[in-house]
Structure 1
């Protein structure tokens, strides 16, 4: 997973999966530019990455920031569209504003990020894009209708871009994580009952870490992932492999 000398942009890079990806790319030798709407980016700064405060829902500013990062570094070799939002609400109570938030953050920003970075990479004749989707694109539950739809859209877009950008030397792949040990999940797992429940949802009883997702992203961005284009890497530790695995109390059946 050698990214020596390459320049990678990561959105939503100040915390969680985005920070894990930024760390992995820096460790593999890349120069990283991290975008995030939060100003609390101490962890990102510690990696040595360049931080840009940006809300990806401002699509014009997002596109301009990609162009500026490219100009500053003199190259753009990889783009990771990670910024996203989760809204869980009973379907019949979902508001239009919530729908708009989900689609603007999770789908439109990814489409714009792919297009803006894709144009730059296509001109250079090489590059790699990684879009962060979710296990909800394949297996979901009530309350996540809008969220699941946006993540399924990311997977579909990624598949189409395998040819629209692949013919120009740019690979596009997705990663679909299940529950991942972000700061929020780690905090919740301080409660033993919740920790046991989360671990029961995977075949080997482990919860994926942000560093593990970061390693997957670095692999897809590197030449080691050259055979993958239009793929969706399901990183759920088997969570979605069984039907009716949980009862209504969230306990494992059988």
Structure 2
């Protein structure tokens, strides 16, 4: 799990899972370029030793150009982590076209463009690894997440197809499917003892996955240690989706 001498791009790197992945990649020795549309996480990202670039992945042309520029600056691109995403939970019959478009553009189209732009660079070099952030919602979901679940399932399906498109070129493509993860928002919510107990009740070991744990998985998939995995979905949900009625329980307890 050594990434020394490698260059990795991480989208949505200013906070949450993206920051955890950037931090883990830096700890494994990689040079990291972190993309985020907000400058709020710039200092936190740069404290890890990563380079911050303000990029809005919904600007697909600008996003592709930023990948090319990061590659040109570093002279190589070994890893691409498509982490940027958005969650919109709304009653299905009330979902608007604008909400649908936001989900499709951020969660699906940007990942497709990110994989294509990075994939071209990596294929030309004959090496590389891409990690896409899907979700447990691609496998088991709740009412109100129809649009979100659809985009995350699309990421998982695209990942499987890309494994055969890019695998012969020396490029592996895998996905991580996290469940609830201890981002800044979740950590704040868990200060409420009731919510803390509820969140822990959804996992087999009573723990809630940290962003650093997701970061470690990303490093594994980016490194030579993950060489056998291509087109895989690593479900990081602490067995949440393995329990048949876990989401029914969630719905009853969480409204």
* TM-score, length-scaled by structure 1: 0.98
Q: CA deviation at 1:243?
A: 1.0
SS at match of 1:32: strand
The residue aligned with 2:207 is 206
The residue aligned with 1:169 is 170
> CA separation in 1, counterparts of 2:177 and 2:33?
22
> CA separation in 2, counterparts of 1:120 and 1:79?
11
Q: 1:249 aligns with which of 233, 247, 252?
A: 252
After superposition, the C-alpha distances for 1:119-148 in whole angstroms (9 at most, x for unaligned) are: 000000000000000000000010000000
SS at match of 2:225: helix
> CA separation in 2, counterparts of 1:138 and 1:244?
14
Q: CA deviation at 1:42?
A: 1.5
Equivalences, count: 251
State the superposition RMSD in angstroms: 0.8
After superposition, the C-alpha distances for 1:16-54 in whole angstroms (9 at most, x for unaligned) are: 000000000000000000000010122101001010001
Unaligned runs of 5+ in 2: none
Q: Which aligned pairs between 1:9-158 and structure 2 lie closer than 5 A? A: 9-40=9-40, 41-158=42-159
> CA separation in 2, counterparts of 1:230 and 1:250?
35
After superposition, the C-alpha distances for 1:139-191 in whole angstroms (9 at most, x for unaligned) are: 00100000000000000000001110001000000000000000000000000
SS at match of 1:131: strand
> CA separation in 1, counterparts of 2:243 and 2:192?
26
> CA separation in 2, counterparts of 1:167 and 1:154?
20
Q: CA deviation at 1:56?
A: 0.2
Q: CA deviation at 1:249?
A: 2.6
SS at match of 1:34: strand
38-47 vs 105-114, which moves further: 38-47
> CA separation in 1, counterparts of 2:239 and 2:133?
18
After superposition, the C-alpha distances for 1:38-85 in whole angstroms (9 at most, x for unaligned) are: 101221010010100010000000000000000000000000000000
Where do 4+ consecutive residues of structure 1 move more than 2 Å?
245-251
